[in-house]
Structure formats: structure tokens, C-alpha cells
Amino acid sequence: MQDVMLRGDFDPPYTLQEGNDEMKSNRWKRNLPLHLMIIPGVILIFLFAYIPMGGIAMAFQKFIPNRGLFGSEWVGFANFVYMINMPDIYDVVRNTVLIAMSKIVLGQFVAIMAALLLNEMRNRRVVRTVQTLIYMPHFLSWVILGGILVDVLSTNGGIVNQLLGVFGIEPIFFLGSNSWFPITLIASDIWKEFGFSTIIYLAALTSINPTLYEAAYIDGANRWKQTLHITLPGIGPIVVLLALLSLGNVLNAGFEQVFMLYSPQVYRSGDIIDTMVYRIGFQDFQYGVSTAVNLFKSVISMVLIIISYRLVYKIANYRIF
């Protein structure tokens, strides 16, 4: 028996490397349908996201449409110098950052408050009804909501100003006042989008161990103290994660919303980078300058996204890629 064992009759039929190769092959075959499913999406991204990147060359040209990319005059960084010397560029960047940051911070705050309030309700049917109602505006485009807001906020028969008139308040020109227009943008965007974030926080609340609440109740903690010491720390990682990931949108203040609601009289407080690019390119026909402004925004946004991903990994220990 000893001789038989020494001769290696019980050696494995394949080596460890062969076993790993076979596992990788099986994994590839198992995931092949998933890879095939993403092919249409990859093709669309390549056609509409990567091929148009060739237009970046216009940022360094005095672009003339009938000459094309290869026939237009190269001007180097002249378009960027012109952009920096534009008299309103700094106001536009300031408006973009302030509006975007206000939307991010206040939107997350309202979503957290809504999730906490819904979590305290015991009637599940009411919770589902409220959750559906606050989530519905997310599916409406700003083309529709813009028309609704123009009518609702109108100084001539708008329901909001009619209600203010009941309390003796003079009509407010929400969409024509430089003081009120940014507030209107921020408030309407929060109303439209906070329902989506609320669902994320409600899902995070379900992951909290219910025995923690039972132990806190036995120790005499009321609902407020349970929320303060259990609920908020429980969803803390998700709050940090979403907040850090939002850094990449600091320069995205919402082109569709602003474009549907703004007018020349509120350019000073409501004009953002995207709307300025639209006007320069499609109204003033300065394609090179508009491309330079948009390229500047894209580079800054890319840097912010990289920083946010690094912070997410360092602080929240969450790896996206």
C-alpha cells in the first residue's frame, strides 16, 4: 500500500494553473450573455459620445461651418484668451457654482428629512402613496414643468401670487427678478428631484438592525434620540457617498431648467455656463469660443469627478471602478 501511494496514484488529474484557466473559461461563458447585452449601449456611446469629441478641435480654431474642421483657421489658445476676457464670464461661473451647490446641499437635506418622516409613519399604504406622489415629478421634463411654472408664478393671475394677495403681499416677479430667480430655480429643482433621493435613503434605512431601536427603547431613548443616535449614523455612509459623488455636478446647474425659465433681465443672477455656451454658439455663431468655454467646463468637471471618486474611496471606503 505504501508503494502504491509513493508512486503517486492519487495525484490530481490537472494542475492548479489548469484549474484556474478552466474556472476563468467557465466564468467567461457564464457572463457572455451579459457582455452581449451591453453591445448596443457601447455602440451608442461610441457614436454619440466619443466620435463627436473630434469637435474639440473647434476650440482652437476660428471655425467656419462651410470650411469644416480641416479647412478652418487654427488660432491656438486665442478663443480661451477671449473667454477669460469676457466681461460676464466670472458672474456666469459664480452663478453656476452657487446654483448647483445649493441644489445639491438643500436637495439632499430635504430628501433626508422626507425619508426620516416617511420612515416614522406606520401606515404602509399612506407611505407608498406619498412616496409615489413625491417621485412623480422626477419623470416630467422641464419643457412641461417650465410651462407649468410660468403659469403658476405669473404676476397676472398666477395661483402663487393670488395666494400672496390674500395675505396682503404684493405680487412677486419670480421669473423676472434677479433676487427671486435663483431661489425659484433652486426650489423648483428640489421639488422635482428630491423624491428620487428619498427612495435611496429609505432603502438605506431598511438596512439598519431593528434590534438597535429595541435596545434604545429599553434604555429609555425616545424617538428623537433614536433618530439622532441610530438612524442618522446608520445612513451616514450613504449620505457621505452621495454628497461626494455630487461634486462632479458642481458645474452642472441644469441647462434645461434655466433655458426654459430665464430671460435677458435675469442674466445677471441666472445665467450659467451651459446657457452662455448656447447663446455664444447658436445665437452669436462664435463656434470656436463656445467650444472653448464648454471644454473648460468639461475639464474642470472631470477633475472634480476624479477628486470625488478618490474621496469616496478614502472616506466611505467605496470603490466605483
pLDDT for the residue 187: 93
Contacts of 318 by beta carbon, 8 Å cutoff, 6+ apart: 237, 241, 312
- For residue 275, give the amino acid letter: T
With cell 474611496, the residue in question is 313
pLDDT for the residue 44: 93
pLDDT for the residue 43: 93
**More confident site: 245 or 285:** 285
For the chain, domains (ranges, CATH) are 15-74 (no CATH), 87-315 (1.10.3720.10)
- CB 244, CB 312: distance < 8 Å: yes
Question: Does 255 score more than 70 pLDDT?
Answer: yes
pLDDT for the residue 10: 47
Nearest C-alpha neighbor of 95 from the set 269, 279, 297, 246:
269
With cell 503517486, the residue in question is 8
Query: Average of pLDDT values for 298-308?
Result: 85
Query: Average of pLDDT values for 14-32?
Result: 67
Rounded CA-CA distance 292/81 in Å is: 10
pLDDT for the residue 1: 44
Question: Does 54 score more than 90 pLDDT?
Answer: no
- Three-class secondary structure of residue 241 per DSSP: helix
Query: Average of pLDDT values for 255-267?
Result: 89
Rounded CA-CA distance 71/300 in Å is: 29
pLDDT in tens, 239-253: 888 887 787 778 888
- For residue 191, give the amino acid letter: W
pLDDT for the residue 88: 86
**pLDDT over 90 percentage in the chain:** 14
Query: Average of pLDDT values for 296-310?
Result: 85
User: And the C-alpha cell for 43?
Assistant: 455602440
The band of 99, judged by pLDDT with boundaries at 50, 70 and 90, is very high
Query: Average of pLDDT values for 42-46?
Result: 92
Contacts of 255 by beta carbon, 8 Å cutoff, 6+ apart: 272, 274, 275, 278
Question: Does 11 score more than 60 pLDDT?
Answer: no
Question: Does 300 score more than 80 pLDDT?
Answer: yes
Q: Where are the alpha helices (DSSP H) in the chain?
A: 2-6, 16-37, 39-45, 68-71, 78-84, 89-120, 124-135, 142-152, 159-166, 181-205, 210-218, 223-226, 232-245, 255-261, 267-270, 273-282, 287-315
Contacts of 277 by beta carbon, 8 Å cutoff, 6+ apart: 290, 293, 294, 297
Q: What is the pTM of this model?
A: 0.80
Query: Average of pLDDT values for 118-132?
Result: 85
Question: Does 183 score more than 90 pLDDT?
Answer: yes
The band of 188, judged by pLDDT with boundaries at 50, 70 and 90, is very high
Question: Does 66 score more than 70 pLDDT?
Answer: yes
Query: Average of pLDDT values for 160-165?
Result: 87
- CB 106, CB 182: distance < 8 Å: no
The band of 225, judged by pLDDT with boundaries at 50, 70 and 90, is confident
Question: Does 232 score more than 70 pLDDT?
Answer: yes
Rounded CA-CA distance 159/306 in Å is: 44
pLDDT for the residue 102: 92
